[in-house]
Structures are given as structure tokens and as C-alpha cells.
Amino acid sequence: MERLIFCKYFKNERPGLDRPPYPGEIGEKIFDSISKEAWQLWLEHQTMLINENRLSLVDPEARKFLQDEMQKFLYGDGSSKPQEYIPPKKE
């Protein structure tokens, strides 16, 4: 049976994640309040941020940037896209 949570991203009840997706307190907060669907949207946005900003995940500053953007995306006013970003064309 799926675990239902009140998703703070969508602001309604949705299926929750199977386990915390991130270490520590932040991971527990996400597990308790972000749906699978919202987390998937974040992963897609995160991939775009990594690629467009040419981030190296070995760099602590890049990881901090992504963590801050994750919090904005999931709980705040949203994470912005880089100015130069052009979405892929759909066929």
C-alpha cells in the first residue's frame, strides 16, 4: 500500500517517497512532505541546473548551490532557470 502524504509542492495529498532521498534532517523533511512526483520534477530540474551551469558534484560550492536550489524549488518560490537556458524542442 502506498504511503500518502500532504505534498507541500503540490499542496494536496499524493503518494510519498519510499525512503528519504537525501541525508540528514533535510532528507527526513522531504520524505515527510514531498511526493514522488514532486521529487521527480526536482530531479529533472537539478539535471538541467548541473548541465547548464556545468557544475561538478565534487565541488562543495556546487553541492551547496544545488541544496539551496532544491529547498527553493520544493518549498519556496521555485528555483530559476539559467538565463541562457533554451528548453529542448518536443517532436
As separate numbers, helices (DSSP H) first and strands (DSSP E) second, the chain gives 3, 2
Supply the CATH number for residue 38's domain: 1.10.3880.10
35 assigned to some structural domain? yes
Where would I find the beta strands (DSSP E) of the chain? 4-7, 12-15
80 assigned to some structural domain? no
pTM: 0.86
29 assigned to some structural domain? yes
pLDDT at residue 89 greater than cutoff 80? no
Domain that holds residue 41: 4-75
Q: Binning pLDDT at 50, 70 and 90, where does residue 77 land?
A: confident
Report the domain count for the chain.
1
pLDDT at 32: 98
16 assigned to some structural domain? yes
42 assigned to some structural domain? yes
pLDDT at 76: 86
52 assigned to some structural domain? yes
